[in-house]
Amino acid sequence: MVRSRLTSPGYVAFDLVIDIENSPGALAEIAVAISDAGVNVAAATCVGSGERAELHILVPYAEAAKHLLAISHLAVTREREVVVVNVEDRPGVLADLTRKIARAGVNLDLVYVATQN
């Protein structure tokens, strides 16, 4: 049962998407701007195979982050509320968790996976 393996009940965070150029150094420039704006990023992923890429950043407070990003001329193109669940770092935990979510009839459209190993 997944419930017994969870290390905390979870919390709400926000996935903010920033459209960026997909070229060498572009992500570094944006990362510096995000840092300089004082935005605390809990997780990030960047996906893109063409000229543009989508940078997803996971933040605890959407409005504050969007305000700080706007000051740095970084526009958030999409935003969604997400549930963050901390789990044990062990083989099979993602399978256990996603099976439980599927049984509840919940569709996942974005998943961040990170471990602290």
**pLDDT tens readout for residues 83-108:** 888 888 889 989 998 999 999 999 98
Side-chain half-sphere exposure of 106, counting CA atoms within 13 A: 12
User: What per-residue confidence (pLDDT) applies to 4?
Assistant: 34
pLDDT in tens, 47-69: 998 999 999 999 988 898 898 88
For the ranges 19-23, 49-53, 72-76, the lowest mean pLDDT is seen at 72-76
**Do 51 and 74 contact (CB within 8 A), yes or no?**
no
**Do 57 and 39 contact (CB within 8 A), yes or no?**
yes
- For residue 117, pLDDT over 70 is answered with no
CA-based R_g, the chain, Å: 16
Return the closest-CA partner of residue 110 out of 15, 10, 2, 12. Answer: 15
What DSSP state is assigned to residue 6?
Answer: B
What domains can you pick out in the chain, each with its CATH number?
A: 11-83 (3.30.2130.10)
